[in-house]
Amino acid sequence: MELKILQNFPNERFTVDVMLGKLARYLIMLGFDCLYRKDFPDDRILDCSIAQNQAIISRDLELIERASAWPALLLKTTVLSEQLLQVKQRFDLEFSSKKLFQRCIKCNLELEEIEKSRISDRIPEETYNWLDKFYRCQLCGQIYWKGTHYRAIKQLLEEWNLLDK
Ligand SMILES: [Zn+2]
């Protein structure tokens, strides 16, 4: 592994193995670039993480050992809150409520803000009247807003003491 690559390592991008789907969703909800594919074998995870400059997070000791000098984290716990804490500490991440819901959970792409009048037929009337900011995934078209799901996730992260601000 070239030292040059490690020095340029951004530390906020991840490839997550197949056993950690829920963690991957939470990291994406927290605004981090996080590649998760159910169909990726270990070789693809290694190749992808190096090609795309992403740290590896895995529950597989063999995979972590094969990653050698590449930034990686082995998670032994299956408890989501503990997994998030270990990722946060290992990669020195800031978990901010301001960064919540900025990426599409399905596609891992950053969302774009969209004028609500353009999507009035796709959101419940009550939500439309109550909120002004809506976001859309440019790839799959999914619409997001900071409604009850957002508040529930934020509250959960607060209960786990994981939000910095
Ligand atoms: Zn999407």
In a domain, residue 142? The reply is no
In a domain, residue 106? The reply is no
pLDDT digits (tens, 9 = 90+) for 71-93: 999 999 999 999 999 999 999 99
Q: Tell me: pLDDT of 2 over 50.
A: no
Euclidean distance between CA atoms 5 and 91, whole angstroms: 16
Query: Ligand 1 centroid vs 121 CA: distance in angstroms?
Result: 19
Q: Does the predicted TM-score (pTM) go above 0.95?
A: no
pLDDT of residue 9: 58
Q: Tell me: pLDDT of 12 over 60.
A: yes
Q: Which residues pair with 15 in a beta bridge?
A: 35, 56
In a domain, residue 8? The reply is yes
**How many distinct structural domains can be found in the chain?**
1
pLDDT of residue 11: 66
pLDDT of residue 70: 87
pLDDT digits (tens, 9 = 90+) for 13-43: 999 998 999 999 999 999 999 998 788 888 8
Query: Ligand 1 centroid vs 37 CA: distance in angstroms?
Result: 14
In a domain, residue 20? The reply is yes
Query: Ligand 1 centroid vs 6 CA: distance in angstroms?
Result: 30
Query: Ligand 1 centroid vs 4 CA: distance in angstroms?
Result: 33
In a domain, residue 25? The reply is yes
Higher pLDDT, 135 or 50: 135
Query: Ligand 1 centroid vs 1 CA: distance in angstroms?
Result: 33
In a domain, residue 136? The reply is no
Cα distances from 83 to residues 24, 88, 131, 144, in angstroms, run 10, 9, 33, 26
Instruction: Tell me the CATH number at 17.
Output: 3.40.50
Q: Which domain holds residue 72?
A: 3-94
Query: Ligand 1 centroid vs 53 CA: distance in angstroms?
Result: 22
In a domain, residue 43? The reply is yes
Q: Which residues in 50-88 are b (16+ Cβ under 10 Å) and which e?
A: eeebbbbbbbbeebbebbeebbbbbbeeeeeeebbbbbb
In a domain, residue 52? The reply is yes
pLDDT digits (tens, 9 = 90+) for 91-142: 999 999 999 999 999 999 999 999 999 999 999 999 999 999 999 999 999 9
The owner of tokens 């995979």 is: 63
